Amino acid sequence: MPKAIHDRIAHLALYPHCLRATALAVFFMLLAPGVLHAQLPAGTTDTTAPQAQQDPLHAQANEALSQRDYPTALKLLTALAAKSPEDAHLLYDLGFTQEALDQTSNAADTYRRAIAADPKYFEAHLSLGLLLARSGKHDEARAELLTATTLTPATDPALKARAYRALARLDQASRPADASAELLAALKISPETPDDIILSGELAEATNDPAAAEAAYRRLLAVDPGNSTATAALVHLFQQQKKPDQAEALLTSALAKTPDDPTLNAQLASLYDAQNEPGKAVPLVEKLHSASPNDPALTRLLAHLYSSNGQFDKAAPLYATLTTLYPGDLNLVTDRADALIHLRQFAEAETILKRAVAQPSGFPTKDDLGLAADHLAFAASANNDPTGTLQALAIRDRLLPQSPSSLFLAATANDKLHQVKQARDLYKQFLSVANGKFPDEEWQARHRLVTLEHTK
C-alpha cells in the first residue's frame, strides 16, 4: 500500500472506522429488570389435614420452607411426594423448592404434575406460567397465565392481578391492545403500582400515543422524583422524538441526585454518542466500567466509545479481551481489527480478519461480512499482500456498493501484480468518482496512469 494512503488513516479519508450502536443496545438489554422473575410463596401443605397429622415429615418440610432452608425442604418434600404422588399442594411446594434451587426443568415438570392432580389449582398454573416466561417460552407461558386468570386463588385473591400483569408484559410487544386490557383487569383487583404506570406509558408508546406516554412517566415522577426507571423511560421517549436537549436536561438533573445510577449514566453516554460527542460519553462509561470491570456489556460499550473518540490504543486491549471471551462474535473481531488498523498493526489485523471472513455464516448479516471483508482488503493492502487484497475485495464487492476506497485498493493491488490493463481501468474509475475528495490518492492515480501508459 502506498505511503500516501496510510498517512491519511488518522483523517479517516478512505477508511471510516466501524461504529457499532449495538454495543449500547446490548448494554441496556442487560440492565433491563426481570419483571417476571420473583417467585410465589410456597403453598405449604395444610398441616391440619389427617394425612399431615400422621406424617411428621409434613411439619418438618413446612418448617424448612418457612426458614428458606431449601436443600432440607427438597429432601423432605421429595420423600413426601413419593408417598403421595397425587397431592397437588405437596407437588406445588416441591416445585417451588426446586425453582428456588434453580432446578428449572425439574420445577416445571413438578408444577405440571400438580396441575394434572388438580387442574383448577391457580397457584400451580401461575407459577408455571411465570417460570416458562423467564425461560423464554412465551407461548406456553401465555397459555398457563390465561388459564390462571380463569381460576380462583386458594390464598390471596390479589394473586390473580399478578397473572394479569405478567400477561400484560408478555403481550406488550405483539398484542399491545390485549396488554392494556390485562393491565386494567389487574388494576381492578389490586392498587396501581409504579411498574403499572411505567407499563402504561410503554403501551402508549407502542400504540403511537407519545403524549399519553409522557403523561404517565411524568405522573410517576411527580410522586417519586427519584424513580430512575421513570426517568429512563422519559429520556428514551425524548430520544425517540428527537428531543436531545430535553433528554440531556432530564438526565443531568437526575444524575445530580444519583450520580452513580448505571442506567442513567449509560443513557447519557448513549445520547452523547448519538450526537457524535464520544469525548463526553467516555468518562461516564469509564466510571461504570471501573465499578464493574468484568461486565462484558460495559467493556464492549467502552471499547466502542474509545474507537469513536479515536483512542484506539485503549480500545484494542478491550476488544482483545472480548474476542477471547466471545470468539464466535465475529463483529467483535471486526471491531478489534479496526482498532489494530488504526494502530498500524496491519499484519495482526489481516490474520484475524482472514479467519473471520473464512466463516461467512458466522456473521449476523451480509453487511457485517461485507464490512469485515472491506477491513481485510485494507489491512492486506497495507501489509503488502496484493493477492489477499483482491480476494477480500471480491467478497466485499458482492455485498457492499463500490466505493472510491475499494476502487483505489483494487487498482494498487493490480498494479503491484503487474496487471497493467486492470490497474489502468481501475485508476480511471477511481478518478471518475473521487471528485477531489482524496487529493493524495488522486495525485498518485494520475502519476501511475502516466507511467502505465508507457508500459506494454
Q: What is the DSSP letter of 34?
A: -
Using pLDDT thresholds of 50, 70 and 90, give the confidence band for residue 9: very low
CB 341, CB 353: distance < 8 Å: no
Closest CA to 16 of 384, 398, 413, 375: 375
Position 39 scores a pLDDT of: 57
3-11 contacts at long range (C-beta below 8 A, 24 or more positions apart)? 4/440, 4/441, 4/443, 4/444, 5/408, 5/440, 5/441, 5/444, 6/344, 6/382, 7/440, 8/438, 8/440, 8/441, 9/341, 9/342, 9/344, 10/342
Q: For residues 270 and 278, give the distance between their C-alpha atoms in angstroms, rounded to a whole number.
A: 9
**100-138 pLDDT, tens digit each:** 999 999 999 999 999 999 999 999 999 999 999 999 999
**Please, where are the H alpha helices in 400-438?**
404-416, 420-434
Q: Calculate helix-pair angle for 262-274, 228-240, nearest 10 degrees.
A: 10
The angle subtended at Cα 276 by Cα 273 and Cα 282, nearest 5°, is 45
Please name the amino acid found at residue 103: Q
Distances, alpha carbon 326 to alpha carbons 25, 83, 314, 320, 333, in Å: 17, 48, 19, 10, 9
For residue 99, give every residue at least 6 positions away whose Cβ sits within 8 Å of its Cβ, in sequence order, or none.
39, 107, 127, 131
The per-residue pLDDT for range 14-49, each reduced to its tens digit, is 333 333 343 444 344 334 434 444 456 565 444 444
> For residues 89 and 91, what is the distance between their CA atoms, to the nearest angstrom?
5
CB contact at 8 A, 164 and 182: yes
pLDDT value at residue 41: 58
The model's confidence at residue 289, banded by pLDDT at 50, 70 and 90, is very high
Cell numbers for 22, please give them: 449495538
Q: What is the pLDDT of residues 73-90, one digit of tens each?
A: 999 999 999 999 999 999
Q: What is the pLDDT of residue 21?
A: 40
Please state, rounded to an integer, the average pLDDT across all residues of the chain: 88
- CA-to-CA distance for 152 and 385, rounded, in angstroms? 73
* Percent over 70 (pLDDT), the chain: 88
Predicted local confidence at residue 292, as pLDDT: 92
| Domains of the chain, residue spans | 36-157
Q: Give the count of beta carbons closer than 10 Å to the beta carbon of residue 379.
A: 29
* 390-422 per-position pLDDT tens digit: 999 999 999 999 999 999 999 999 999 999 999
Model pLDDT for residues 429-455, shown as the tens digit of each residue: 999 999 899 999 999 999 999 999 877
List all residues 6 or more positions away from 214 whose beta carbon is below 8 Å from its beta carbon. Answer: 201, 234, 237
For 263-278, how does the pLDDT look when each residue is reduced to its tens digit (9 = 90+)?
A: 899 899 989 998 999 9
Cα separation, 53 vs 73, whole angstroms: 18
Rg of the Cα trace of the chain? 30
Q: Do 437 and 13 contact (CB within 8 A), yes or no?
A: yes
Q: How far is residue 374's CA from residue 334's CA, in Å, rounded to a whole number?
A: 10
Q: Which three cell numbers stand for residue 253?
A: 438533573
Whole-angstrom CA distances from 76 to 57, 110, 299 are 6, 15, 45
Amino acid letter, 386: P
Helices (H), 295-365: 296-308, 312-325, 330-342, 346-357
Distance CA 351, CA 320 (A): 14
Give me the pLDDT at residue 52, please.
45
| Confidence band, pLDDT 50/70/90 cuts, at residue 260 | confident
Lowest mean pLDDT among 30-39, 172-181, 196-205: 30-39
Please give the DSSP secondary-structure letter assigned to residue 74: H
Q: Cell for 268?
A: 447519557
pLDDT of residue 56: 84
- Superfamily of domain 36-157 in the CATH hierarchy: Tetratricopeptide repeat domain (1.25.40.10)
141 versus 50: which is more confidently predicted? 141
Over residues 158-183, the mean pLDDT reads 95
pLDDT above 90 coverage of the chain, percent: 81
Residue 454: per-residue pLDDT? 79
Instruction: Give per-residue pLDDT as tens, 357-400.
Output: 999 999 999 999 999 999 999 999 999 999 999 999 999 999 99
pLDDT at 40: 62
pLDDT of residue 4: 34
pLDDT of residue 43: 53
